[in-house]
């Protein structure tokens, strides 16, 4: 009884676990139950039960409701589909002027909006693409095909790669200095001589449209939310769901709304990239000291001046993190949106992965990563740039970068022109090195992979078999064995113990949504993979973070490594693991672990760093040794921040698990991937995405509530 | 007295949802407690005063006394709930946004407790900021800002970022920035509170030197009574949003209006604050000894001389006319005596 009084929470948790396991044992698996049934829900079978809702027929296999809840939300995907179809094809028909046929045509409003948006995006992408690569679509957009037929020479010539490379280097030099300039130049040269020029420029043109647009929209909406509570309240739930929504899932509805191609990819990238930008903008603006705002007002700022010259620059730290996120998401989406027909490196990467040509995939992946890092560093340098008012510069000195660029422009053109004579009838290497004509190290890598496979096959296979048979399969079976009601009790109980009634209700609603969807089994598999990944990631991240923290230099180094790794598009992580483990669950899990270890490590270091110096000294003066200081002072204080890292780790892991469906897993991601090629996939894809998002949100809610309470308790904020 | 620059007529600031309505219902009789019960917090309660051109009014109060709120009402960083505020005869609350911005750009400067410098701008850019906001050309604003840099003694550090400066230096930047547009009215919100005592004293002296030169109309907020005594032409002491007493430093020390004000004055070394005129006896001008002291002399400086006298000491004005006398024992009274029972 004494213990009971001393640790009431502990006993409450114990009681909850006992109830959970009791329920698990009490509820038997029905004999006819097949785990992870295929798409049986939508196939007619006399054993199925049927219900109608909103005029939709839903068929399902009924089991004991304690074991699996009936899919009462089964109508949702069908309903979403039908609604989308209705909105696009029948809602609000209006007369629109058609340029091509020179007459009014009746079209549904949404379709017209979607077409206009699409045309605008296509134009932007084409414009940049043709500046970089050449073509005539842009000119056609302003004139007509007849015009082009009349003047066949009229075509944007495209920039020779030498000029783009020189331009990138000079811009980097102006923004940051020699280091970045060197990096930019080398990156461009690498891209060019490895024959990745065309796809790279395609990807770049996509990103040069998507990233600035996402930035502007995110910043604008963030400011709107900062200024108006109402806007914030309206945005917040959407932002929360979008934060944990896997990127795959939004592809399918985009497919329906905007069709296939780069423009759809840009729009969908914006949908994914804008929410974090909004959140970080709000966060940054909120953190501005009120006196700075007052100082701005007293300087006589108008509202615009206050926003542009005081608020945004003062909040730039968080806004820059937002830019970093936007760029990260853009590159990530550049790969993923290859599924809906975006051209460029992503497409090549997917193709290479599909053919198991690891070498090619590696080269494409490296290109994407290099461009991502370059753009990230350039945007950072741009934001931190400083003007010099006092340097007494001559005209030449002031404009040297412009002059250098003009010079390299001319030289590049001359080189390209000379090239036409050198490489007669062949490819002009000084203009553009075509795909597959550059140097390729693919063979080397492929041979390397083969060699690794030949040499270590036995070990890898043994490890693989052991992992799958002795760890993963039992774990998976355990998770699948969880009855719906028991899981619900566990989740709600945890919610109640951590955050009271409010949390319990939120968690209950989120869990119920998943339980009532037709994919409970799949959700459990997703959960099992994510759990496995998160546990290992946390162990690694925690250890590495703690070790690195012991020394200031290594901590800074590790954070830098995290930064760079975070810039890699998520898909890239699949390449090396496929090299080693082929197409197995192990590959996915290792990719998950690598990817999710980044936030785990980062937050561990940051958490430990945030422990006040005064406490360190106080501890040292009380005579504790290093280990005691770590366990008694630093961990308890850093723990809340580290838990936020756990939160991020879970989100990262879920993302990767879903992306892992590309390799072939049995979780929700697999269905999302399937939905992509399904005519009626939009509803299914979106509902599945929401399910995954909700899994993330359950943990998000629990962890955040706990951290909030804990921080209050410790008096740190 | 010269012209009035700032004039407040029963200014109220009440935070809360129905503040305006409740204020109207209360007929100017605001009781903080009843308001608090209804979810409103009284920031400033019926403040009326005037500040003349070139005068320095120091508003003194402990934290939560409403002194900063009062300043923010007068600079209209927050809108007063009730009452009228006139700046050079213009009704401040009547100004539209554009006129207000115009007023701030040309007439007002403000210094903040936490410096409130823009972190992304260098020293010179920070100082030039109000000018650039006004639309002054880069060259001119930077040139003017450099003059200000020299004025506050930061030459050589104009390209530093605020984070690279010490607190005192940062506040110099804040002061320079507030003076860049050559405002007539200067608001200072606890400018030296975040500084170390030594730096604070140095900055106070520097501030007095600047004011000697510039002769601005100043509202200075502080929670430090000694600072108020040192700087002020007049002091307003606030408590719970109410101005308890508004008077010259000497009168506050000699005649504290309320028990609250008296508590502050008790520990004050009077001989350092009061001048001879404050304690002299103006009626008796006979039987004077040989020693004559100026009426504007601070007591501490002449106490020793007076105490050696046995007869009455004559007090003279600047034209050497005798205006009164002082008994040596009066000095002892002032320094040691009157503390517990007033003067």
Q: What is the 3-state secondary structure (H, E, C) of A455-491?
A: HHHHHHHHHHHHHHHHHHHHHHHHHHCCCHHHHHHHH
Reference A127, options A114, A115, A116, A140; nearest CA is: A140
**DSSP code for B314:** E
Neighboring chain B residues of A295 at a CB cutoff of 8 Å = 110, 112, 116-118, 174, 177
Q: Which of A299, A302, A316 sits opposite B130 (nearest CB)?
A: A299
Q: Which of B118, B158, B177 sits opposite A310 (nearest CB)?
A: B118
Q: Is residue B343 part of a domain?
A: no
Q: Return the SS3 of A432.
A: coil
**Residue A42's pLDDT is what?**
53
pLDDT, tens only, B247-258: 988 888 888 889
Indicate the helix (H) or strand (E) that contains B222.
strand B217-222
Residue A291 to residue B130, Cβ atoms within 8 A: no
Residue B116 to residue A316, Cβ atoms within 8 A: no
Residue A299 to residue B133, Cβ atoms within 8 A: yes
**Residue A44's pLDDT is what?**
65
The Cα–Cα gap between A588 and A590 comes to 5
Looking at the fold, whether B297 and B177 belong to one and the same domain comes out as no
Looking at the fold, whether B37 and B179 belong to one and the same domain comes out as yes
- Number of Cβ pairs < 8 A linking chain A and chain B: 71
Q: Which of A302, A313, A389 sits opposite B118 (nearest CB)?
A: A313
Reference B219, options B195, B190, B247, B199; nearest CA is: B190
The Cα–Cα gap between B241 and A406 comes to 66
Q: What ipTM score was computed for the predicted complex, to two decimals?
A: 0.82
The Cα–Cα gap between A335 and A331 comes to 7
Looking at the fold, whether B287 and B143 belong to one and the same domain comes out as no
* Count of CB atoms situated within 10 Å of the CB of A579: 20
How large is the average pLDDT for residues A403-422?
76
Looking at the fold, whether A249 and A134 belong to one and the same domain comes out as no
Looking at the fold, whether A110 and A224 belong to one and the same domain comes out as no
Reference A299, options B94, B116, B165; nearest CA is: B116
Looking at the fold, whether A565 and A660 belong to one and the same domain comes out as yes
**Residue A392's pLDDT is what?**
60
Q: In what order do the strands lie in the sheet with B242-247?
A: B108-111, B185-189, B217-222, B56-60, B234-239, B242-247
| Any B CB within 8 A of A292 CB | yes
Looking at the fold, whether A347 and A229 belong to one and the same domain comes out as yes
A674 or A299, greater pLDDT: A299
Looking at the fold, whether A225 and A322 belong to one and the same domain comes out as yes
Write out the two tokens for A651: 């989100």
Looking at the fold, whether B192 and B319 belong to one and the same domain comes out as no
Under the banding of pLDDT at 50, 70 and 90, the label for residue A86 is confident
Residue B116 to residue A292, Cβ atoms within 8 A: yes
Q: Is residue B58 part of a domain?
A: yes
Of B269, B285, B302, the residue that ends a domain is B269
Q: Is residue A219 part of a domain?
A: yes
The Cα–Cα gap between A155 and A578 comes to 43
**Residue A213's pLDDT is what?**
93
High-pLDDT (> 70) share of chain A, %: 90
The DSSP code sequence of B79-144 is --SEEEEEETTEEGGG--HHHHHHHHHHHEEEE-TT----TTS-HHHHHHHHHHHHT--HHHHHHH
Looking at the fold, whether B221 and B117 belong to one and the same domain comes out as yes
Strand B82-87 to strand B4-15: parallel, antiparallel, or no bridges (unpaired)? antiparallel
Q: How many domains does one find in chain B?
A: 2
**Range(s) of the domain holding residue A141:** 93-150
Reference A489, options A478, A504, A474, A476; nearest CA is: A504
Under the banding of pLDDT at 50, 70 and 90, the label for residue A617 is confident
Of B249, B269, B289, the residue that ends a domain is B269
Under the banding of pLDDT at 50, 70 and 90, the label for residue A43 is low
pLDDT, tens only, A499-512: 889 999 999 999 99
Residues A663 and A574: beta-carbon distance below 8 Å: yes
pTM of the model: 0.82
Q: How many domains does one find in chain A?
A: 3
How large is the average pLDDT for residues A446-460?
81
Residue A301 to residue B120, Cβ atoms within 8 A: no
Q: Is residue B286 part of a domain?
A: yes
**For residue A216, what is the domain's CATH number?**
1.10.3720.10
**Residue A324's pLDDT is what?**
83
* Residues ≥6 apart with Cβ < 8 Å to B70: B11, B13, B43, B44, B47, B59, B238
The Cα–Cα gap between A269 and A214 comes to 8
Residues A386 and A185: beta-carbon distance below 8 Å: no
A240 or A413, greater pLDDT: A240
High-pLDDT (> 90) share of chain A, %: 13
Of B217, B234, B269, the residue that ends a domain is B269
Neighboring chain B residues of A299 at a CB cutoff of 8 Å = 104-105, 129-130, 133, 177
High-pLDDT (> 70) share of chain B, %: 97
Residue A300 to residue B134, Cβ atoms within 8 A: yes
Q: Which of B109, B117, B120 sits opposite A316 (nearest CB)?
A: B120
Residue B124 to residue A389, Cβ atoms within 8 A: yes
Residues A585 and A628: beta-carbon distance below 8 Å: no
Coarse DSSP helix, strand, coil percentages of chain A, rounded to the nearest 5 percent: 75, 5, 20
Neighboring chain B residues of A389 at a CB cutoff of 8 Å = 124-125, 138, 142
Q: Which of residues 300-329 of A touch B (CB under 8 A)?
A: 300-302, 305, 309-310, 313-314, 316
Q: Which residue of B has its CA nearest to A299?
A: B130
Task: Calculate how close chain A gets to B212, using CA atoms only, in Å.
Answer: 24
Looking at the fold, whether B314 and B252 belong to one and the same domain comes out as no
Looking at the fold, whether B175 and B118 belong to one and the same domain comes out as yes
**For residue B242, what is the domain's CATH number?**
3.40.50.300
The Cα–Cα gap between B57 and A306 comes to 29
**B27: Cα within 13 Å, side-chain hemisphere:** 0
Task: Calculate how close chain B gets to A392, using CA atoms only, in Å.
Answer: 13
**Residue B343's pLDDT is what?**
40
**Chain B residues near any Cβ of chain A (below 8 Å):** 72, 75, 77, 101-102, 104-106, 108-110, 112-122, 124-125, 129-130, 133-134, 138, 142, 158-159, 174, 177-178, 181, 187
* Count of CB atoms situated within 10 Å of the CB of A265: 31
| Any B CB within 8 A of A386 CB | yes
**Residue A538's pLDDT is what?**
93
pLDDT at position A536 over 90: yes
pLDDT at position A40 over 60: no
Q: Is residue A626 part of a domain?
A: yes
The DSSP code sequence of A84-148 is HHHHHHTSSEEEEEETTTTEEEEEEHHHHHHHHHHHHHHHHHHHHHHHHH-BSHHHHHHS-HHHH
Looking at the fold, whether B190 and B294 belong to one and the same domain comes out as no
**Residue A452's pLDDT is what?**
79
**DSSP code for A29:** P
pLDDT, tens only, B106-137: 888 999 988 889 888 889 989 999 998 888 88
Of A114, A135, A150, the residue that ends a domain is A150
pLDDT, tens only, A326-349: 888 888 888 888 888 888 888 888
Write out the two tokens for B230: 């040192």
pLDDT at position B338 over 60: no
pLDDT, tens only, A262-291: 888 888 889 889 998 998 899 899 989 899
Q: Is residue A371 part of a domain?
A: yes
pLDDT at position A72 over 50: yes
Under the banding of pLDDT at 50, 70 and 90, the label for residue B341 is very low
The Cα–Cα gap between A626 and A630 comes to 6
Q: Is residue B342 part of a domain?
A: no
The Cα–Cα gap between B343 and B336 comes to 11
Residue B124 to residue A302, Cβ atoms within 8 A: no
Q: Which residue of A has its CA nearest to B182?
A: A299
Q: Which of A300, A314, A390 sits opposite B118 (nearest CB)?
A: A314
Strand partners, B236: B59, B246
Reference A339, options A658, A692, A696; nearest CA is: A658
Which ranges constitute the DSSP H helices of A467-584?
A: 473-480, 484-516, 520-549, 552-567, 574-581
pLDDT, tens only, A93-133: 777 777 667 777 777 777 888 888 888 888 888 888 877 77
| Helices vs. strands in chain B: H and E counts, helices first | 15, 13
Neighboring chain B residues of A316 at a CB cutoff of 8 Å = 120
Of A82, A115, A150, the residue that ends a domain is A150
Q: Which residue of B has its CA nearest to A293?
A: B116
Q: Most confidently modeled of A307-316, A610-619, B282-291?
A: A307-316
Residue B138 to residue A305, Cβ atoms within 8 A: no
Q: Which residue of A has its CA nearest to B119?
A: A314
Residue B116 to residue A289, Cβ atoms within 8 A: yes
**For residue B333, what is the domain's CATH number?**
3.10.580.10
How large is the average pLDDT for residues B153-178?
88
Residue B104 to residue A299, Cβ atoms within 8 A: yes
A44 or A602, greater pLDDT: A602
Q: Is residue A288 part of a domain?
A: yes
Helical pair A358-383 and A161-175, crossing angle rounded to 10 deg: 40
Neighboring chain B residues of A308 at a CB cutoff of 8 Å = none
Looking at the fold, whether A322 and A241 belong to one and the same domain comes out as yes
Looking at the fold, whether B299 and B163 belong to one and the same domain comes out as no
**Residue A436's pLDDT is what?**
65
Looking at the fold, whether A702 and A616 belong to one and the same domain comes out as yes
Residue A389 to residue B142, Cβ atoms within 8 A: yes
* Count of CB atoms situated within 10 Å of the CB of A95: 11
Looking at the fold, whether B175 and B262 belong to one and the same domain comes out as yes
Q: What Å distances lie between residue B169 and A681, B111, B173, B192, B251, CA to CA?
A: 64, 13, 6, 11, 35
Write out the two tokens for B115: 């410096």
Q: Is residue B24 part of a domain?
A: yes
pLDDT at position A38 over 60: no
Residue B133 to residue A389, Cβ atoms within 8 A: no
pLDDT at position A630 over 50: yes
pLDDT at position B245 over 80: yes
| Any B CB within 8 A of A393 CB | no
How large is the average pLDDT for residues A482-504?
89
Looking at the fold, whether B162 and B284 belong to one and the same domain comes out as no
**Range(s) of the domain holding residue B285:** 271-337
Looking at the fold, whether A352 and A210 belong to one and the same domain comes out as yes
Q: Is residue A690 part of a domain?
A: yes
Of A115, A131, A150, the residue that ends a domain is A150
* Residues ≥6 apart with Cβ < 8 Å to B77: A294, A297, A298
pLDDT at position A412 over 80: no
Task: Calculate how close chain A gets to B334, using CA atoms only, in Å.
Answer: 42
Kindly report the average pLDDT of chain A as a whole number: 82
Q: Which of A295, A309, A387 sits opposite B116 (nearest CB)?
A: A295
* Residues ≥6 apart with Cβ < 8 Å to B146: B124, B158
The Cα–Cα gap between A528 and A133 comes to 46
Q: Which of B120, B124, B133 sits opposite A305 (nearest CB)?
A: B133
Residue in the structure block whose two tokens are 């709120």: B69
**Residue A494's pLDDT is what?**
92
Reference B289, options B310, B303, B273; nearest CA is: B310
Q: Which of residues 531-560 of A touch B (CB under 8 A)?
A: none
The Cα–Cα gap between B274 and B295 comes to 11
Looking at the fold, whether B257 and B275 belong to one and the same domain comes out as no
Kindly report the average pLDDT of chain B as a whole number: 85
Q: Which of A294, A313, A390 sits opposite B112 (nearest CB)?
A: A294
Phi and psi at residue B289, in whole multiples of 5°? -80, -165
pLDDT at position A145 over 70: no
A504 or B271, greater pLDDT: A504
pLDDT at position B342 over 50: no
**Residue A340's pLDDT is what?**
83
């Amino acid at each position: 009884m004494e213990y009971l009084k001393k640790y009431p929470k502990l006993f409450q948790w114990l009681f909850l676990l006992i109830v959970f396991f009791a329920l698990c044992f009490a509820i038997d698996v029905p004999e006819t139950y097949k785990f992870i049934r295929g798409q049986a829900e939508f196939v007619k079978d006399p054993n199925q039960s049927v219900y109608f809702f909103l005029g939709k027929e839903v068929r399902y296999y009924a089991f004991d409701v304690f074991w699996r809840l009936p899919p009462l939300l089964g109508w949702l995907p069908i309903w979403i589909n039908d609604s989308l179809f209705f909105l696009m094809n029948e809602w609000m028909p209006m007369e629109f002027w058609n340029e091509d046929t020179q007459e009014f045509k009746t079209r549904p409003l949404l379709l017209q909006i979607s077409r206009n948006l699409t045309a605008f995006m296509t134009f932007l992408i084409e414009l940049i693409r043709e500046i970089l690569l050449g073509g005539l679509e842009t000119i056609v957009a302003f004139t007509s095909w007849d015009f082009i037929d009349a003047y066949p020479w009229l075509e944007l010539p495209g920039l020779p790669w030498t000029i783009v490379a020189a331009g990138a280097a000079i811009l980097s030099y102006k923004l940051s200095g020699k280091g970045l300039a060197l990096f930019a130049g080398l990156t461009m040269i690498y891209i060019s001589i490895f024959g990745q020029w065309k796809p790279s420029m395609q990807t770049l043109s996509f990103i040069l449209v998507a990233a600035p647009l996402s930035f502007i929209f995110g910043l604008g909406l963030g400011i709107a939310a900062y200024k108006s509570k109402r806007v914030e309240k309206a945005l917040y739930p959407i932002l929360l769901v979008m934060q944990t929504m896997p990127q795959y899932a939004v592809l399918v509805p985009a497919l329906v709304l905007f069709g296939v191609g780069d423009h759809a990819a840009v729009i969908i990238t914006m949908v994914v990239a804008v929410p974090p930008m909004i959140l970080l903008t709000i966060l940054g603006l909120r953190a501005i000291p009120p006196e700075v705002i007052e100082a701005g007002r007293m300087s006589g700022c108008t509202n615009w001046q206050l926003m542009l010259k005081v608020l945004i620059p003062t909040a730039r730290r968080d806004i820059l993190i937002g830019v970093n996120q936007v760029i990260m998401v853009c590159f990530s989406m550049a790969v993923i949106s290859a599924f809906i027909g975006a051209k460029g490196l992503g497409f090549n990467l997917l193709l290479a992965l599909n053919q198991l040509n690891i070498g090619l995939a590696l080269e494409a992946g490296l290109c994407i990563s290099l461009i991502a890092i370059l753009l990230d560093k350039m945007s950072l340098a741009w934001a931190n740039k400083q003007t010099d008012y006092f340097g007494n510069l001559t005209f030449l000195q002031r404009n040297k970068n412009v002059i250098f660029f003009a010079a390299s422009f001319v030289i590049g053109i001359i080189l390209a022109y000379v090239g036409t004579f050198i490489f007669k009838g062949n490819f002009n290497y000084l203009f553009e090195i075509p795909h597959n004509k550059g140097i390729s190290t693919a063979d080397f890598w492929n041979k390397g992979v083969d060699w690794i496979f030949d040499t270590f096959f036995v070990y890898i296979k043994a490890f693989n078999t052991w992992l799958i048979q002795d760890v993963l399969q039992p774990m998976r079976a355990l998770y699948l064995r969880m009855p719906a009601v028991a899981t619900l009790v566990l989740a709600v109980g945890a919610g109640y113990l951590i955050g009271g009634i409010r949390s319990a209700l939120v968690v209950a609603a989120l869990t119920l949504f998943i339980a009532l969807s037709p994919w409970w089994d799949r959700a459990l598999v997703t959960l099992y993979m994510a759990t496995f990944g998160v546990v290992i990631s946390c162990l690694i991240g925690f250890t590495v973070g703690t070790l690195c923290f012991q020394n200031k230099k290594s901590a800074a180094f590790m954070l830098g490594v995290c930064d760079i790794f975070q810039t890699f598009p998520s898909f890239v992580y699949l390449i090396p693991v496929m090299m080693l483990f082929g197409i197995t669950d192990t590959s996915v899990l290792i990719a998950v672990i690598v990817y999710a270890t980044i936030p785990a490590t980062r937050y561990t270091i940051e958490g430990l760093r945030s422990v006040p110096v005064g406490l360190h000294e106080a501890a040292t003066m009380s005579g504790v040794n290093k280990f005691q200081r770590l366990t008694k002072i630093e961990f308890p204080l850093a723990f809340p921040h580290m838990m936020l890292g756990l939160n991020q780790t879970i989100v990262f892991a879920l993302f990767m698990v879903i992306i892992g469906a590309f390799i072939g897993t049995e979780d929700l991601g697999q269905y999302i991937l399937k939905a992509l090629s399904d005519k009626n996939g939009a509803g299914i894809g979106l509902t599945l995405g929401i399910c995954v998002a909700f899994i993330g949100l359950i943990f998000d809610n629990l962890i955040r509530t706990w951290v909030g309470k804990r921080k209050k308790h410790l008096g740190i904020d | 007295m010269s012209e009035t620059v700032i004039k407040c007529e029963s200014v109220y600031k009440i935070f809360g949802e129905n503040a305006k309505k409740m204020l109207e219902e209360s007929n100017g009789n605001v009781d903080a407690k009843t308001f608090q019960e209804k979810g409103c917090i009284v920031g400033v309660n019926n403040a009326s005063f005037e500040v003349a051109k070139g005068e320095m009014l120091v508003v003194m109060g402990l934290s939560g006394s409403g002194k900063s709120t009062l300043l923010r009402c007068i600079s209209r960083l927050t809108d007063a709930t009730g009452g009228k505020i006139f700046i050079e005869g213009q009704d401040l609350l009547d100004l539209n946004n554009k006129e207000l911005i115009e007023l701030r750009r040309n007439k007002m400067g403000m210094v903040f407790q936490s410096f409130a410098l823009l972190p992304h701008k260098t020293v010179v850019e920070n100082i030039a900021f109000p000018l650039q906001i006004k639309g002054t050309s880069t060259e001119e604003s930077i040139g003017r800002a450099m003059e200000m840099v020299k004025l506050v003694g930061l030459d050589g550090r104009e390209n530093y970022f605020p984070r690279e400066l010490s607190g005192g230096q940062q506040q110099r930047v804040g002061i320079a920035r507030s003076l860049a547009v050559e405002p007539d009215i200067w608001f200072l919100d606890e400018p030296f509170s975040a500084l170390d005592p030594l730096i604070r004293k140095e900055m106070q002296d520097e501030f007095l030197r600047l004011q000697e030169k510039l002769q601005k109309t100043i509202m200075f907020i502080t929670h430090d009574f000694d600072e108020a005594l040192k700087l002020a032409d007049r002091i307003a002491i606030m408590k719970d949003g109410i101005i308890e007493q508004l008077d010259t430093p000497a009168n506050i020390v000699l005649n504290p209006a309320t028990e609250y004000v008296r508590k502050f004055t008790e520990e004050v070394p009077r001989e350092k604050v009061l001048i001879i005129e404050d304690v002299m006896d103006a009626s008796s001008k006979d039987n004077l000894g040989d020693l004559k002291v100026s009426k504007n002399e601070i007591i501490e400086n002449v106490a020793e001389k007076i105490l050696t006298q046995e007869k009455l000491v004559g007090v003279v004005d600047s034209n050497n006319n005798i205006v009164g006398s002082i008994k040596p024992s009066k000095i002892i009274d002032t320094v040691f005596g009157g503390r517990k029972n007033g003067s």
